[in-house]
Amino acid sequence: MRYVHDLQLLVTLTHPKDDFQEELVIRPLQSGDVYASFQFRTLWETDFMKGNKVSHYRLFPKSLGQVISKFSVRELHISFTQGYWRTMQWGQPFMPSPPGAELWVWFQDSVTDVDGTWKELTNVLSGIFCASLNFIDSTNTVQPSASFKPLGIGNVTDHRFLRYATLPREIVCTENLTPWKKLLPCGSKAGLAVLMKSEKLFHSSFHSQAVHIRPVCQDSECTTTSWELRQTLNVVFDLHTSGQGKREWSLFKMFSRTLTEACPLASSSKIYIDITDNPQVSFLHNILSLKIQAVVLGDRRTFSVYDLTEANTFGSMRSLNLLIRWKSSEGDMLRPLLHAERYVAGYGLQTGEIHTLMYNYHPFRSFPILLLDSVPWYLRLYIHTLTVTSKGKDNKPSYIHYQPSKDRVRPHLLEMLVQLPPNSVTEVTVQFERALLKWTEYTPDPNHGFYVGSSVISALVPSMVAMDTNNTKERPLFSSFFPCKEESSYFVRIYTEPLLVNLPTPDFSMPYNVICLTCTVVAVGYGSLYNLLTRSFQIEEPNPRLAKRIANVIRRLRGVPPLA
C-alpha cells in the first residue's frame, strides 16, 4: 500500500499538471529611461472546453478559472495602462497596450447569447480587477473582423464570438495592482513579484499590467492542450530626471527592494538584461551570468541572464542587486520601422476631422497593415470623406470593413487593409460631425472632453535583422548574402494616442432655465390672451392734448375764452 502511494506520488511529481515560470527583462532605453518588463506564466494541463467542469486549482488562480469555465471563454486579454508608450523614443514594447483599459475576449462556439455573456463577464472582471470595466456596454464594444485573431490554438475565426472594447478614460492605480498581484501563486511574498512596490511602480512614465489567457499546445504534436495564463507588467522608469542626470541604475534604485529568492513554485525564474547597446555592465559583486542572443521584435539583441533558481546567483550577500552604469548616450537607437500617430483637426464645435498618420521607415520594402478604428456614436463619421493618401497619391485600401454606428447602441467600426509604401507617410482622414447628447449622457466634467480609444494597427513588419546587411559579423558568411533569411518578418501591434474631443457642452442649469423661460413666455402670451378675452373695452373720452391745455392756460392769463 505504501509502495503504491509512493509510486503515485512519483508520477504526480514527474508530470506536474501545472507549471509556473517568472522572468524579468530590463532594457535601458536610449532616452535614459529604463524599461522593466515582468512576465509570469502559468501553464495548466486541463480542459476547460466543451463544458468540462474544472474546479480544483493549484497554481492557476481560482477566480480566473471560474470566470473561464462559467462564461465559456476561449481567450481573454485584458490590459490596464497608465501613460502612453512613446514608440519613437523607446522602441517597440514587448507587450503593446493602449492607454486606459482594453479587453478582448474570444468566446467558445457553444455560447449562444454572446452579448449577454459579454456583459456579465465585464461585470465580473470589473469586480476581480477593481476597475470600471462595468462601463463596457454595447456603445463601446465592437466585433473586429480581421484585427484580433485568436492567439492560442483553435480554428474558430468566426468573429461573432469576439468582443473588443477599450476604456481610454480608465485611470490605473494601486487598487488595480493589488488584485493582479493576488493572482500570482507566490503573491508578492517571494520571487520577482517582491520587487513590485506600488509606490515605485506608479512613480514612472509608463505603467501597464495585463492578463492574457489562451489555450496552447503542450508539445509540438499538440496531443495535449493546456491553458496558459500570462501576467505581464511593463514599467518605464524615468531615472534620468530622478537620478540627477547620472546614467546608472540598480534594482534597489528602481524598486527600492532587492531580490533574495526565486518563487519556490517556479520552474524557472530569470532576469534578462539587455546589454546590446552597452556591453560595459558593472555589478555590485561578481556574479556569473550567461550571455545569450535572441532576435526580439526583428532585432538581434544580447542579454545577460541571471538564474534565480541557482543559489550562487545571490552570492555571499544572499541578495541580488544588479547595478548598471553606462557611458553617455552614444549610439543611436534603431528607429522602429512602423510608427503611427493620430490627431483631431478642425475648429468649432460642429464638425472635425480625424487624421491618422502611419509611418513606414523601411527604406525599400512596403508592407500591408490592418488599421482598426472604433469611434463612439456621438462622433458621426462621414464615411464618404474617407481618404487614404501616401506620398501625395491616393492609396486604395484593398479591404474595408465598415459598420456604421447606431445612436446610443453601437459605435462605428472601421477596418482597413492598407499597403504602406517604403519610406513614406500614409494619412487616413475622415470627417465627422459632433452629436448633441442628452443632458444625462454627459460624463462628469464634460468640459474636459470625450475620449476616443486608440486606433489599433496590426502588421507583419519586415525584420530588421533581415534588413541590416552591415551586421554580418556574427553570422557565417554563407548565410548572410541574401538579406532575407530567418524570421523575415514579425508581428507588431501599435496603438495610437487616444483622442480627446470636445463636444458641444450645455450649461447644466439649462433644463431649469429652459423651463423658466418657456414658462415665462407661455405666461406672457397667456396673460395677454386672458386679458383680451376677459376684459371688456370701452371707448373713453380722449383727454385734451397737452398743446391745447397749455394754450388754454395762456388764453386764461390773457383773458381770452379758452379753446373747446
Partner 1 sequence: MRGQLAALSIAAVVIIIGVPLWWRTTETYRAWLPVSQIQELANLELQLSADVEVVFARGTVTPEQQKKIPLTLSQDDEHVVDEDTSLRYRYETRYRTATIMEEDALNQPTAAEADLSLHMLSESPCGSLVVYVVPESTSLLPEDVEVYIGQRRTALLRIGTQMRVGRTLDQLLDHLEPRIKKLLQLMSFSHTDITAALSDRVRLSPGNKESIADSMRAFKSSPGYEITFSLLNPDPKSHRLHWDIEGAVQTFIQPLLTKLEPLANFSIDSQILYYAMLGVNPRFDNSHNAYTLNADSLAHVINPVEARLGSNAASSNPVLNFLLYVPDANHSPLYIQDRKKQQVPSNAFHSPRWGGIMVYNVNSFYGPDVAFPVDININMAKVMGVFLAQLRLLLGVQSSTPPPGFLVAPCGSSGLADWELDRLMWSRSVENIATATTTITSLAQLLDQIGNIVINDNIAQQVSSAVTSLQLAVAELESGNLGFALQYSKEAILASERAFFDPSLLHLLYFPDDQKFAIYIPLFLPMCVPILLSLLKIASEVRQRRRDKQTKTD
The Cα–Cα gap between 134 and 376 comes to 17
Please tell me whether residue 245 adopts helix, strand or coil conformation.
coil
Q: Is 229 left (phi over 0), alpha (psi -120 to 50) or beta?
A: beta
Measured in whole angstroms, the distance separating CA 31 from the mean position of its chain's CA atoms is 23
Instruction: Return the C-alpha torsion angle 495, 228, 202, 446, nearest 10.
Output: 50
Residues forming contacts to partner 1 in the complex (CB under 8 A) are 5, 9, 12-13, 55-59, 61-64, 66-67, 69-71, 124, 127-128, 182, 185-187, 189-190, 261, 264-265, 512, 515-516, 518-520, 522-524, 526-527, 530-531, 533-536
What's the closest the beta carbon of residue 78 comes to partner 1, in angstroms?
14
Shortest reach from residue 68's CB to partner 1, in Å: 10
- Whichever of 524 and 560 has its CB closer to partner 1, that residue is 524
Q: How many Cβ atoms from other residues are within 10 Å of residue 174's Cβ? A: 11
Q: How many whole angstroms separate alpha carbon 258 and alpha carbon 192?
A: 9
Please provide the distance, in angstroms rounded to a whole number, between the alpha carbons at the two ends of the chain: 142
Tracing cell 532616452 back to the chain, one arrives at 31
| Choice between 162 and 186, CB closer to partner 1 | 186
Which CB sits closer to partner 1, 36 or 59? 59
Q: Which CB, 191 or 376, lies closer to partner 1?
A: 191
Q: How far is the CB of 202 from partner 1 (least distance, A)?
A: 21
Q: Cell match 560595459: residue?
A: 280
Residue (105 or 254) nearer to partner 1, CB: 105
CA angle 450, 451, 454 (to 5 degrees): 160
Question: Residue 104 and residue 163: Cα distance in Å, rounded?
Answer: 6
Rounded least distance, CB 353 to partner 1, Å = 39
Please state the closest distance from residue 56 (CB atom) to partner 1, in A. Answer: 5
Indicate the residue among 288 and 523 with the shorter CB distance to partner 1: 523
CB of 404 to partner 1, least distance (A): 31
Amino acid at 264: P
Residue among 14 and 244 whose Cβ is closer to partner 1? 14
Whole-angstrom Cα distance, residue 562 to residue 553?
8
Shortest spacing between CB 190 and partner 1, in angstroms: 7
User: What burial class does residue 213 get, using C-beta atoms within 10 Å of its C-beta: 0-12 exposed, 13-18 middle, 19+ buried?
Assistant: buried
Q: How far is the CB of 197 from partner 1 (least distance, A)?
A: 17
Q: 205: closest CA among 241, 174, 232?
A: 241
Comparing CB distances to partner 1, the nearer of 484 and 515 is 515
Nearer Cβ to partner 1 (186/457): 186
**Rounded Cα–Cα distance for residues 482 and 466 (Å):** 8
Q: Least distance in Å: CB of 324 to partner 1?
A: 30
Of 242 and 513, which CB lies nearer to partner 1 in the complex structure? 513
In the bound complex, what is the minimum distance in angstroms from residue 526's beta carbon to partner 1?
6
Closer residue to partner 1 (CB): 2 or 545: 2
Nearer residue to partner 1 within complex by CB, 176 or 204: 176
Beta carbon nearer to partner 1, 17 or 200: 17
From the CB of 516, what's the least distance to partner 1, in Å?
A: 5
Cβ-based neighbours of 104, under 8 Å, separated by 6 or more: 76, 77, 148, 162, 163, 164, 165
- DSSP H helices, 289-441, are none
Measured distance CA(155)–CA(133) in Å, rounded: 28
Write down the least CB distance from residue 511 to partner 1, Å: 9
Strand 18-28 to 268-274 pairing: parallel
* Distance of closest approach, residue 72 Cβ to partner 1, in angstroms: 12
Show contacts of 306-314: CB within 8 Å, 24+ apart: 306/270, 306/271, 306/273, 307/268, 307/269, 307/270, 308/191, 308/192, 308/259, 308/261, 308/262, 308/269, 308/270, 308/271, 309/262, 309/266, 309/268, 309/269, 312/287, 312/288, 313/287, 314/259, 314/260, 314/261
Smaller CB distance to partner 1: residue 9 or 88? 9
Element (H, E) at 530: helix 510-534
- Minimum separation from the CB atom of position 66 to partner 1 (A): 4
- Strand arrangement, sheet containing 351-360: 338-345, 351-360, 424-434, 379-390, 393-394
Alpha-carbon gap, residue 90 to 345, rounded angstroms:
27
